[in-house]
Amino acid sequence: MSPPLDDAVHSAANNISLDAIDVSDPQIYQDDTWYPYFARLRREDPVHYVRDSRYGSYWAVTKYKDIMQVEVNHQVYSSASELGGIQIEEQPKGMDRPSFIRMDPPKHDEQRKVVSPVVAPANLANMEGLIRERTIRVLDDLPRGETFDWVDRVSIELTTMMLATLFDYPWDDRRQLTYWSDVAICNVNSPESPVHSEEERFAEMTKMAQALGALLNERAQMPPKFDLLSMLAHGEATREMPIREFMGTLSLLIVGGNDTTRNSMTGGLFALSQHPGEYQKLRDDPSLIPGMVSEIIRYVTPVIHMRRTAKEDSELGGKKIKQGDKVVIWYVSGNRDPEAIDDPDNFIIDRARPRQHLSFGFGIHRCVGNRLAELQLRILWEELLLRFPVIEVMGPPRRVYSNFIHGIRSLPVRIPA
Partner 1 sequence: MPKITYIEHTGREHQAEVPLDLSVMRGAVDNNIPGIDADCGGECACATCHVYVDDAWLATTGTPVPGSQEASMLSFAALAQPNSRLSCQIKVTEALDGLIVRLPEGQH
Closest distance between partner 1 and the C-beta of residue 265, in Å?
21
Q: Give the 3-state secondary structure of residue 360.
A: coil
Contact set for partner 1, span 54-93 (CB under 8 A): 68, 71-72
Is 21 a residue that touches partner 1 (CB under 8 A)?
Answer: no
Q: Which CB, 122 or 417, lies closer to partner 1?
A: 122
Q: Could you give phi then psi for residue 323, rounded to 5 degrees?
A: -50, 135
Amino acid type, 281: K
Say how far apart CA 117 and CA 268 lie, in whole Å. Answer: 28
Is 126 a residue that touches partner 1 (CB under 8 A)?
Answer: no
Closest distance between partner 1 and the C-beta of residue 349, in Å?
18
Is 109 a residue that touches partner 1 (CB under 8 A)?
Answer: yes
Q: Judge whether 381 and 292 are in contact, CB under 8 Å.
A: yes
Is 339 a residue that touches partner 1 (CB under 8 A)?
Answer: no
Say how far apart CA 54 and CA 89 lie, in whole Å. Answer: 9
Is 226 a residue that touches partner 1 (CB under 8 A)?
Answer: no
Amino acid type, 367: C
Q: Work out which of 1, 21, 49, 113 binds partner 1, going by CB under 8 A.
A: 113
Report which secondary-structure segment, H or E, holds 215.
helix 198-221
Is 112 a residue that touches partner 1 (CB under 8 A)?
Answer: yes
Helix%, strand%, coil% for the chain, nearest 5: 50, 10, 35
> Which residue, 404, 131, 369, is CA-closest to 253?
369
What's the gap between Cα 307 and its chain centre?
14
Is 116 a residue that touches partner 1 (CB under 8 A)?
Answer: yes
> What's the burial of 77, exposed, middle or buried (CB within 10 Å: 0-12/13-18/19+)?
buried
Q: Work out which of 14, 27, 52, 105 binds partner 1, going by CB under 8 A.
A: 105
Say how far apart CA 125 and CA 374 lie, in whole Å. Answer: 13
The stretch near partner 1 (CB under 8 A) out of 93-101, 118-126, 215-223, 315-323 is 118-126
Say how far apart CA 353 and CA 291 lie, in whole Å. Answer: 8
Using CB under 8 A, count the residues that bind partner 1: 23
Q: Work out which of 121, 191, 223, 276 binds partner 1, going by CB under 8 A.
A: 121
Q: Work out which of 6, 11, 19, 117 binds partner 1, going by CB under 8 A.
A: 117
The stretch near partner 1 (CB under 8 A) out of 105-113, 169-177, 235-243, 273-281 is 105-113
Q: How many residues does the chain have?
A: 417
Q: Which CB, 194 or 338, lies closer to partner 1?
A: 338
Contact set for partner 1, span 349-368 (CB under 8 A): 353, 355-356, 360, 362-364, 366
Residues that bind partner 1 (CB under 8 A): 68, 71-72, 105, 109, 112-113, 116-117, 119-122, 124, 353, 355-356, 360, 362-364, 366, 371
